[in-house]
Chain A
Amino acid sequence: MRITDKMMFERGNAATAAARGRVADFQNQVSTGLRVQHPGDDPGAASAIVGGALAQSRSDAIVKTAAKAQDDATVADGALQGMTQIVARAQELAVQLSNDTYSPSERASAAKEVDGLHSQMVALLNTSVAGRYLFGGTKDGAPPFDAAGNYSGDTNTKQLEVAPGMLENASLRMDVFAKGSGGGVDILSTLSSLSAAMTSGSSSAIEGMLGAITTGTSQLSTALSQNGVMISSFASAQTLGQLASQQAQKGVADAGDTDMFTAASSLAEASQALQASLSATAQGFKLSLLNYMGG
């Protein structure tokens, strides 16, 4: 092939430009830490980055939501424990005062304690977190129970996402567990009735309340159990969500981040190639007949 001067200069230009381009590419990868910046750099990886970023965002959000839900359920657990103790004390008083040996004044005094238990029960049923009442179903903007024990919450159960597309109950139906809706006993009414029975001084009436109190205890036990399941479920959601988030983050990094060792070694290689290209180009330019023809 016939080699012309223009060819040599243009080849020199093209070769050094290509070598410099490669050096710049690797420098950019090393300095930004990113291998894929434009979708055209690696379409499959770009798609994986988008999917991974969305999955990570979803998992992170689930973890946060589950953490708050677990906090709520933990507060609810404390309240339910308190309610169980109240009912246990009521039961203890009922058993104790169903004995005929107690005087009317002693029974009246016990009735006052039961009234106090009623008030405590109402207070616990109106437990709130940051102004949000936990036992009113989804009607959480106002106390669900009044002083008399009437329920003004709704019959809905709040649900939350614990995994993509999977929902878990996040509230308890206290109209069921405390008020006996659907076949149980109304614990608050039971306490009121117990107080009335004690005031009336009828041992048999007091004794007659024991069955309802036992059922109430059982209802609260079920509520505690369901609440425990919720706590456990939200804890698992956080663990799994964190794992999913880490996995998604790793997927994004694997797809789009620079492998520093490879990039650094490629940068060194490209720099060597540039040096060689510059040297070869300069050598080529030195060789000319002009250098050997005397003036």
Chain B
Amino acid sequence: MADLFSLLTTSSSSLAAQSGATATAGNNIANANTPGYSRQIANIEAMDTAGSSVGVFIGRGAQLTSVTQARDQFIERQLPQAFAQSGSTQAQNKALSSVSALDPQASGSLQSALGAFYSGLRSLSQNAGDVGLRQSAVNATQQLVQSFHVAAGGIEGTRTAIDSDIGATVDKVNADAQGVAALNVQILSSTVNGQRPNELLDKRQKLIDELSTLTGATPYESANGNISLALPGGTTLVNDSHAATLSTVPDATNAGHVSLRILRPDGSGPYALPSTSVGGQLSGDLTARDGALKSTLDSLDSLAFDIGTALNTIASTGVALDGTNGHTLFTLPATSTGAASSLQVNAALTANPSLFPAGQTVGSSGDNTNVLAMMATEQQNLSTSGKPPPATMQLLTATFGSQASQAKAFAEQDGALVDHLGTLRDSASGVSIDEEMINLTKSQRAYQAIAKVITTADSMLQTLLTLKS
């Protein structure tokens, strides 16, 4: 009798185990497309045997011991670095490919304005006394200045847009870091007898992946199972249940562009966070803004300043139609810093083109010697680049192009690595509906069979009970 009753008890726990397996498969199917979800495995084990009245050990059925996540730690450990690298190169590629200021075939490009400026001088050289040609030369000078403004403005605009991007990224980083810290607390308090809340683990992992992409942070596990995060420079971003807070401040030494600050998890700070201490998207944004874009802008400033200085030096020695001298072509800043944006045409020339210093002899309206000297600057080396203006323009375009091309290639390469590792992670942790349907059927069949055992045991009990009557 006792064995038949224990058979009912055993079947009950076995039914619960199969029911749990069915529920796990159902949960997996429901989350097949949930981002960050790792498939769960219902671990069913045979219950310990016990002695019976017939003197042999008979099994006591099955029990659901745990529901665990399918994760491949080998792959998981490679992902943060890949996310960080890809985040960085993607950000650089996005920034550099968005710059159209140096597009070689765009209408109104800087090189076409430079060409038009020298063409204007050539036309004037043929008839230096012609006021109309002087007006054209002044117009071409204005066009050149305008093109410098547009090119520099385009690059500076991209740098400013990156500032906004950094601001938005910082907000997201702070929210994610707070999320990881809060989940650490939740996960620790929800863990009972080693059973961990898988959905919370998934949520935390998703935030960690995002933080790796945004900041290059690397996760490390504490003894209590909490995940902390460290930035590439070693600064702690999340320490157990406490998260750092990033912020941005305008940097006066970098034309007001934002720099990063950090309020550490222990509440100290805020301290300056150098660009070398972050990775991921933030690093990519800062590298593009203060690297390729800044150096291109500097080269543009030098080009504007050097051309302007060379032409002004010649212009100031020339004479205008009215015989006055000392008229420069451009109003220039004292140094090359910001020259491409602040360069202006001498307002006196704009107001009165006959002041264009075309010659060197007073009273000789057809004297074009100063125009010829200005034209010669097209072939003369500039002080910063050591090359003539056209070659400097070519070098500037090629250098920026190489940086943009390299960023694109690295972004594709790093993106492919992330895709590859993501595929491997998905292979280990993703849900296969075919597989889950089979698991579902398997647990359904087992459930049906166990139900049959209960029916059989019940029938046997009925038989015993009818013996007495």
Interface on A for B, CB 8 Å cutoff?
Answer: 1-7, 9-11, 14, 34, 36-44, 46-51, 53-58, 60-62, 64-65, 68-69, 132, 136-141, 154, 156, 158-161, 164-165, 167, 170-171, 256, 288-290, 293
Contacts and interface: CB of A to CB of B under 8 A. Distances in A.
Nearest to A153: B364
Interface in B354-408: 359, 361, 363-369, 372, 375-376, 378-379, 390-391, 393-395, 397-405, 407-408
Given A6-B32, A51-B394, A57-B112, A34 B105 contact: yes
A68 B127 CA distance: 9
A9 B430 CA distance: 12
A53 B115 contact: yes
Given A11-B423, A50-B104, A154-B361, 19 more contacts: A5-B33, A5-B431, A6-B33, A37-B105, A38-B103, A40-B403, A40-B407, A43-B398, A43-B404, A54-B115, A61-B119, A61-B122, A132-B130, A137-B364, A139-B366, A141-B129, A158-B366, A160-B125, A256-B104
B395 A47 contact: yes
Given A6-B426, A156-B364, A69 B129 contact: no
B125 A65 contact: yes
A78 B467 CA distance: 147
B401 A40 contact: yes
Contacts of A39: 102-104, 397-398, 400-401, 404-405
7 contacts: A5-B431, A40-B407, A41-B401, A54-B115, A132-B129, A137-B366, A140-B129
Contacts of B122: 58, 61-62, 64-65, 161
B134 to A, nearest CB: 13
B433 A289 contact: yes
A57 B376 contact: no
B125 A161 contact: yes
B151 interface: no
A249 to B, nearest CB: 12
Contacts of B419: 14
A60 B119 contact: yes
A61 B119 CA distance: 5
Contact of B393 (A3, A54, A58): A54
A54 B111 contact: yes
Nearest to A9: B33
B428 interface: yes
By DSSP majority rule, is chain B's interface helix, strand, loop, or mixed? helix
Given A7-B426, A43-B405, A69-B126, A38 B112 contact: no
Interface string B92-127: 000011001011111000011011101100110111
Nearest to A48: B394
A137 B116 CA distance: 28
Contacts of B368: 138, 158-160
Interface string B320-353: 0000000000000000000000000000000000
Contacts of A170: 126
B394 to A, nearest CB: 4
Interface residues of B, number: 70
B427 interface: yes
A69 B393 CA distance: 30
Contacts of A138: 128, 359, 361, 364-369
Contacts of B441: 293
Nearest to A43: B401
Given A7-B423, A38-B97, A65-B126, A46 B366 contact: no
A68 B395 CA distance: 34
B67 to A, nearest CB: 18
Interface string B416-445: 000100110011101111100110010000
Contacts of A10: 422-423, 426
A167 B368 CA distance: 12
B391 A51 contact: yes
A156 B361 contact: yes
Nearest to A72: B126
Contacts of A65: 122-123, 125-126
A132 B365 CA distance: 9
A65 B363 CA distance: 23
B43 to A, nearest CB: 18
B104 A132 contact: no
A274 to B, nearest CB: 19
A57 B115 contact: yes
A132 B118 CA distance: 23
A40 B96 contact: yes
Q: Which of B118, B408, B428, B433 has the most CB of A within 10 A?
A: B433
A6 B123 contact: no
Nearest to A165: B379
A273 B391 CA distance: 41
Contacts of A43: 397-402, 404-405
Contacts of B401: 38-44, 46-47
Contact of B397 (A47, A137, A289, A290): A47
A6 B126 contact: no
Contact of B366 (A4, A11, A140): A140
A168 to B, nearest CB: 11
A56 B128 CA distance: 23
Contacts of B367: 138-139, 154, 156, 158
